[in-house]
Amino acid sequence: MTPTKGEPAVDFPLRRPRRVAVLSVHTSPLEQPGTGDAGGMNVYISETATRMARRGTAVEVFTRATSSDLPPVAELAPGVLVRHIAAGPFEPMERAELPGQLCAFTAGVLRAEARHEPGFYDVVHSHYWLSGQVGWLARDRWGVPLVHTAHTLAKVKNAALADGDTPEPRGRVIGEQQVVDEADRLTANTAVEARQLVELYDADPDRVVTVPPGVDLDRFRPGDRRAARARLGVDQSATVFAFVGRIQPLKAPDVLLRAAAELLARGAVRRDRLVVLVVGGPSGTGLEQPTALRELAEHLGIADVVRFLPPRGGDDLAAVYRAADVVAVPSHNESFGLVAVEAQACGTPVVAAAVGGLPVAVADGTSGLLVDGHRTADWAHALAAAARARDALAPGAVAHARQFSWERTTDTLLHAYAEADRALRLSLARAEVAV
């Protein structure tokens, strides 16, 4: 095809990046998800980076050093390095404090790149808006495309706040808008999030690509339920409800506790047969009242049936999912809901709030149940119904979870990188022709 006037007379085939710079300012993929700022984003980065490296694309993750004992560079997996950048004190910092350290973090990232020959990185992938601010500058300095994943959006969170929770600050809203305007590609977890980027942030639809997260189907799979309960010291005849995640108002673990108290009050379940597992640690605004959930259990009179467990991963986490009759995901907002998919992959149905990406993660009536709102009576009814139907829902839960895999996520990401690279090269060629 003959190019039109002003078009470059060259073709730009897709090419897979040799090396990706991943930016994760506020949390490291080396941290255990479920406490502090570590959560689904950590899993996302770790799983996709590892699989990219297996495909021949090296990955270097830049994150803020939170301890002087951390090595400058650590290996996450073969072909995946984690670079700890000194920016601020060697200690965890609240996210509200981190914008003040972005200049120092950016300088550390640029210095690391400057030690190499030009063109060392082929693409920058930033996670969360703080990293997007750094990625925007690195992209311009290195002349490579910026791909950005928001994971959560301030405008969406502020529209669905839990009672008493603190809204995201205006500075974050402005910062997100800047990143949306500058990124070469924006990846969304679901079509819902893609639409939110367009409608709330005026993102260019041609630059938004939906990349569903995945699940480790080798680790999270149906297993021996009796062995899982024995491992946790849970009675084999108990009705077990579980919450897994960071303990903060956004995640709404209080909804599960109130529903459990309602079921006991109704006589829908015997007290000596009920176990509520809460797996995770305080995070975000939950750090302001780290004992609030335990105090709520006491207030509701169910402290004897609630067991608080520290964050866990790997086979220990899979055991929690397998031991439960139902896993509850009552969040006020979720861009996707990795916990929901992991639990279902283990054959455990999920009761989730019908918000954000959870209607994608959970197939209502097939792999679990979706609940509109957070009314205690509605949640008590749904939890009891899902527990009764556990065996009937289990096959659908497994089948639904198998639609998601980190292999597919990684393939889609690599394609998005290649498309962003081609679009940038075409744009530069057009600029040269125009001159």
> Is the separation of the CB atoms in 351 and 328 below 8 Å?
yes
Residue with tokens 């459990």: 260
Strand partners, 309: 279
DSSP per position, 402-426: TT--HHHHHHHHHHHHHHHHHHHHH
Determine if residue 128 is labeled as part of a ligand binding site.
yes
In angstroms, what CA-CA distances link 360 with 172, 212, 369? 27, 9, 12
348 in a known ligand binding site: yes
Residue 19 phi/psi, 5-degree rounding, is -150, 135
- Tokens read off for 142: 């290195």
Q: Is 133 annotated as a binding residue?
A: no
Rounded CA separation 335/153 (Å) = 8
**Does 322 show up as a binding residue in the annotation?**
yes
Check whether 31 is labelled as a binding-site residue.
no
Q: Is 32 assigned to a binding site?
A: yes
Residue 95 known to bind ligand: yes
Structure tokens at 299: 């207030």
Is 333 assigned a ligand-binding role in the annotation?
no
321 is in an annotated binding site: yes
246 annotated ligand-binding residue: yes
Alpha helices in 267-388 (DSSP H): 292-300, 314-323, 338-345, 358-361, 376-388
**Residue 432 annotated as lining a ligand binding site:** no
* 288-291 own/partner pairs: CB under 8 Å, 24+ apart: 290/247
**Residue 155 is labelled as binding a ligand:** no
The answer to whether the annotation marks 121 as part of a ligand binding site is no
97 is in an annotated binding site: no
Distance of alpha carbon 259 from alpha carbon 280, whole angstroms: 19
Ligand-binding site membership of 248 (annotated)? no
Query: Has 342 been labeled as part of a binding site?
Result: yes
Structure tokens belonging to residue 417:
């990188």
Residue 411 marked in a binding site: no
* Binding-site residues from annotation for 1D-myo-inositol 3-phosphate: 26, 37-42, 95, 128, 152, 172
* Binding-site residues from annotation: 26, 32-33, 37-42, 95, 128, 152, 172, 246, 251, 312, 321-322, 324, 334, 342, 348
* Binding-site residues from annotation for Mg(2+): 321-322, 324, 348
* Binding-site residues from annotation for UDP-N-acetyl-alpha-D-glucosamine: 32-33, 40, 246, 251, 312, 334, 342
